[in-house]
Amino acid sequence: MFNLFKKKKPEAKTNPFLPLKVREVVRETPDTVTLYFEQPEPILDYSPGQFLTLVMEFDGKEQRRSYSLCTSPFVDPFPGISVKKVAGGLFSNFLNEKIFPGKTINVLKPMGNFTTEFHSKNQRHFIMIAGGSGITPIMGILKSALINEPKSKVTLLYCSRNEEQIIFKDALEKLVMDYPGRLETIHVLSQPEMGWSGVTGRITKDLIQSQVKQAEAEQDFDAEYFVCGPEGIMDLSVQVLEDLSVAKEKIHRESFYSSAADQAQHEAAGNTSGLTREVAVVLEGEEYQVTVSPDKTILESGLAQDLDMPYSCQSGLCTACRGRLLSGEVKMDEDAGLSDKEKADGYILCCVSRPLTDDVKVTIE
């Protein structure tokens, strides 16, 4: 029986990468740098809180990593990302140690839903909760809110290890002075040095509750919540908000890591008893047949067959690999990157999707 489905890599109609030249490298903390890029032509169009996916080659293999933009298009003349070193991090170590002004890096267009619209007539109280590098996207949103909404105010709960590890410490202090009465920053240090007079330990349930109850009790402000950081802080924050009956649409969260997707990937790696299925993938108007074994996702299998499928985080947290399910059923290891409406409309994330039936067909939009 002849296979009538094409398996060769489709010809790219447009170059998906945007080359950005590094303009400046700023050392924020001993293990974090901010890279500011020259504005391309036309200028980079992004919303505060979105991320860039960097595409680089290591040992002859293309790798991708996503980093949140820490800048505001309403305030900052040049877009920038902040990168914190992680143990064994391929990108983070390279960007912290070997990047220099003049270096050009290929990126994908800005993506992400961790953002909001701004209007000068809004009167909101932004409650922002961050831990470590989770301050990165929040910084762009914070600056945008202050400049665009003169009637709004911001309260930031920010957990760091010690004073030396506070990313954007000087910038935050300046913003507090520039916007008196409109920005309150509460630093929480888990391992402070001698002489620290602020909050110590970790962001607790009681601390979050007190801020939320105060914000919800204000008659003149509409409270809105943004959370980004380690899973523990995020889960605790969202749980407190839900327990206090905060409307779901007022809660925004951005994850850098998914333990659920990681655990599912680990379990799938040893799966030899499941079924291998054929999945139809519609890419740029052409249909391809992809063989998906039980230890692989649709994206992994498509890339292995040289299909130029879009992707970024590969953890189910962004929407770069989003596709619409035309038929069949899939299991997603993680779906935090999709809104309830997107899921109701049949969208899936190919990087964490595994076919459950033999009739799965996905179109990449």
Q: What is the pLDDT of residues 247-276, one digit of tens each?
A: 999 999 998 764 444 555 555 555 555 799
Domains of the chain from N-terminus onward: 18-111 (2.40.30.10), 124-254 (3.40.50.80), 271-364 (3.10.20.30)
pLDDT of 284 > 60? The answer is: yes
Mean residue pLDDT of the chain comes to: 90
How many whole angstroms separate alpha carbon 158 and alpha carbon 160? 7
For residues 87-99, give the mean pLDDT.
93
Q: What are the tens digits of pLDDT across the range 224-245? A: 999 999 989 999 999 999 999 9
DSSP string, 62-119: EEEEEEEB-S-TTT-SS-EEEEE--TT-HHHHHHHHT--TT-EEEEEEEE-S------
Which residues does residue 251 pair with via DSSP β-bridges, in sequence order? 225
How many whole angstroms separate alpha carbon 84 and alpha carbon 324? 34
Q: Give residue 266's pLDDT.
A: 53
Highest mean pLDDT: which of 11-25, 81-95, 328-342? 81-95
Q: Give residue 314's pLDDT.
A: 79
CB 154, CB 183: distance < 8 Å? yes
Q: Give residue 41's pLDDT.
A: 94
Q: At 3, is the pLDDT very low, low, confident or very high (cuts 50, 70, 90)?
A: very low
Q: What are the tens digits of pLDDT across the range 121-171? A: 999 999 999 999 999 999 999 999 999 999 999 999 999 999 999 999 999
pTM for the structure as a whole: 0.84
Q: At 7, is the pLDDT very low, low, confident or very high (cuts 50, 70, 90)?
A: very low
